[in-house]
Structure 1
């Protein structure tokens, strides 16, 4: 089987076919060795974090190649909702995009349009890029993969956004949603345990479940990841490469007792 003939499975399709919650983590260190280590550890996917880490487009491209070569799916959280790099990131062959700080259906629609090919959107055809195997992928397959298999997700991190989740999830082409609990706590002024906040979470999960849109979130511990999966999340990021390194290093130093 040639490289062109090898089956591909973007993150949207992988989620649809999975019989469990997929587990990933954030990549924040601008180096490729941690990406390989995370793959070797067994994570299903990584999220290259360009919003809260100094990660360039060039690094995102290289990390995508390394991660996918090691068997992981790759999502990229872009720096903001301006859409400046959406086209180029999709051309690198990433498996999905997370657009942060989306607060309305109009903002969600604007982001999604940039990730869909015409006539449904404004994404240009770059079949000679890595996403098209440098021109080796048949045109129909290239277009199908881009519109059907790649995940186009928005992050809801504001109370008003979650209250408008029905309208946001109705946006054509949106096939993923992510709950940003940290910023939701900041914007609402409420702790995560507050019943009002938990009701908002139930609202999001209920709406996503009814529409068949996979919902994800981020947690810090394996126990929290299991709880999130039990609650109905379909993909969960657990910790991140910097925190995992810091925790392991601090444990070694504490164990020595110096």
Structure 2
């Protein structure tokens, strides 16, 4: 764990991150050298297996970026494994209620504040070289991805140990349409940001368009992941093909 990076992400200000979906330790290391405030390794939808996660965390040792792992499900064993391997925090998908948020925090913290198992031999404790567990509690980002989550945003934000209410824009938009919820997407963004602000927490979002960063920040979204390794590669590959497939003579 990187206590300084954790502290920085908890502080006020704008926190720029990006999404790592490809499971490449080389790309992870490169992103860690580029100056992002935080990085997200995606185990829910990304092509990231356990061996790639471990290698990516190793590649990011010494980076100034806080490293967050999005687990595939809010299971305590998945949360513990990511943290034991050295992640600075976790992102938990589909947090719809305060009780689900409390369960995520309990799984991420040692007793007396949680139920996470303790072992000195894990990577997070330098394979037994560290004598004490990290002093900083890991970051916990709760994903708001449904109309139900938006309606409970105040209660979720009030949970001690939740650091960020993080909007998943695709799932939230899909849920609003599928459930015919009487809420506009923009109104959901406003409610989530207000709930986070009122609780002294931060609001975050995956932002696919860097040009929207300033507007989202003005709405209160201080933790933003701008695009992903996959999307950046796809965009530039397509631009390269379009530009060079028929070179001018």
TM-score, scaled relative to structure 1: 0.86
Contact 1:179 1:216 in 2 (8 A): yes
What is the DSSP-based 3-state SS (H/G/I as helix, E as strand, rest coil) of the residue aligned with 1:249? helix
State how many pairs are aligned: 243
Quick one: distance in 1 between partners of 2:174 and 2:83?
Answer: 31
Q: How does 1:132-211 map to 2 (within 5 A)?
A: 132-139=125-132, 142-145=133-136, 147=137, 150-189=138-177, 196-211=184-199
Report the counterpart of residue 11 of structure 2 in structure 1. Answer: 17
Quick one: distance in 2 between partners of 1:249 and 1:195?
Answer: 37
Cα 1:143–1:32, aligned 2, differ >3 Å: closer, same or farther?
closer
| Cα displacement (A) at 1:76 | 0.5
Contact 2:76 2:116 in 1 (8 A): no
Quick one: distance in 2 between partners of 1:227 and 1:24?
Answer: 16
| 83-92 vs 158-167, greater mean Cα deviation | 83-92
Report the counterpart of residue 39 of structure 1 in structure 2. Answer: 32
Structure 1 gap segments, 5+ residues each: 1-5
TM-score, scaled relative to structure 2: 0.89
What is the DSSP-based 3-state SS (H/G/I as helix, E as strand, rest coil) of the residue aligned with 1:80? coil
CA displacement 1:160-189 (0-9 Å, x = unmatched): 111111111222322222111111111111
Tell whether 2:224 aligns with 1:236.
Answer: yes
CA displacement 1:36-65 (0-9 Å, x = unmatched): 232343322221111002311221121112
Q: How does 1:37-186 map to 2 (within 5 A)?
A: 37-139=30-132, 142-145=133-136, 147=137, 150-186=138-174
Q: How does 1:240-255 map to 2 (within 5 A)?
A: 240-255=228-243
Cα 1:81–1:56, aligned 2, differ >3 Å: closer, same or farther?
same
Quick one: distance in 1 between partners of 2:185 and 2:240?
Answer: 37
CA displacement 1:6-60 (0-9 Å, x = unmatched): 973243x112335x31111111112222112323433222211110023112211
Cα 1:70–1:120, aligned 2, differ >3 Å: closer, same or farther?
closer
Contact 1:216 1:233 in 2 (8 A): yes
Cα 1:10–1:117, aligned 2, differ >3 Å: closer, same or farther?
farther
| Pairwise CA RMSD | 2.2
| 96-105 vs 29-38, greater mean Cα deviation | 29-38
